[in-house]
């Protein structure tokens, strides 16, 4: 056999052996990667399951706390409900307002006053659930601007109930005189010749 042909065959066999080794190594790495993906996927499922279980535990607290605030201002007309689901590998919550057994989307089907009360209540709930918790002092700028003036005294009752329960203090900026009058302390600001003047 021709020596050049032998060299050619030897070189091609060497290349083939190298490719076979490379393919085997790649398949081994691919198997490792698939195993890691499976572990990560199972871990993500476990994390989501733990998250969902934790969310279910606090679900009742959130629903009852916000519903209580709504009940003080609007009676038994509304109830807050949370639905949890996993989307794109993450846990998500959907907020519903239930009226007469019908679930309503607060953003599109409910008036601004109800949204004001829900927002207020959710801020308090998030503070309660946070760790570590900040000092119980809350600043609000017109938090109830869309609540009917007829319900102002109920807002005062709700604020006092929350303050007494959690030893909290609300500092609220408001143009609603009835809400201001219901505060334990207030400062009235008026303008005189372009200058803000405070009356305690």
- The average confidence (pLDDT) of the chain is 84
Give per-residue pLDDT as tens, 98-142: 998 899 988 887 888 999 999 999 999 999 988 898 999 999 999
* pLDDT at residue 1 tops 80: no
Q: What is the pLDDT of residues 27-75, one digit of tens each?
A: 788 888 888 888 887 777 777 777 767 777 788 889 999 999 999 999 9
Determine the average pLDDT of the residues in 80-86: 83
In this structure, whether the domain defined by 135-200 belongs to CATH 3.50.50.60 is answered with no
Q: Which residues lie closer than 8 Å to 144 by C-beta, 6 or more apart?
A: 113, 116, 117, 120, 152, 155, 174, 176, 179
Q: Where are the domains of the chain?
A: 135-200
Q: Which of 60, 79, 72, 58 is nearest to 156 (CA)?
A: 72
Q: pTM of the full predicted structure? A: 0.69
């Amino acid at each position: 056999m021709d020596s050049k042909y032998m060299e050619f065959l030897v070189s091609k066999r060497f290349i083939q052996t190298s490719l076979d080794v490379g393919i085997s190594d790649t398949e081994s790495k691919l198997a490792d990667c698939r195993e890691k993906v499976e572990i990560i996927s199972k871990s993500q499922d476990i994390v989501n399951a733990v998250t969902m279980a934790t969310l279910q535990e606090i679900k009742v607290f959130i629903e009852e706390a916000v519903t209580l605030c709504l009940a003080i201002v609007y009676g038994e007309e509304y109830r807050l409900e949370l639905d949890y689901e996993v989307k794109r590998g993450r846990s998500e919550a959907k907020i519903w307002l239930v009226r007469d057994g019908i679930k309503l989307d607060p953003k599109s089907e409910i008036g601004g006053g109800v949204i004001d009360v829900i927002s207020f209540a959710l801020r308090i709930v998030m503070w309660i659930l946070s760790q570590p918790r900040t000092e119980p002092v809350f600043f609000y700028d017109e938090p109830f601007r869309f609540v009917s003036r007829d319900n102002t005294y109920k807002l005062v009752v709700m604020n006092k109930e929350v303050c007494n329960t959690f030893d909290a203090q609300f500092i609220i900026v408001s143009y609603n005189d009835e809400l201001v009058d219901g505060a334990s302390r207030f400062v009235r600001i008026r303008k005189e010749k372009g200058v803000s003047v405070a009356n305690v």
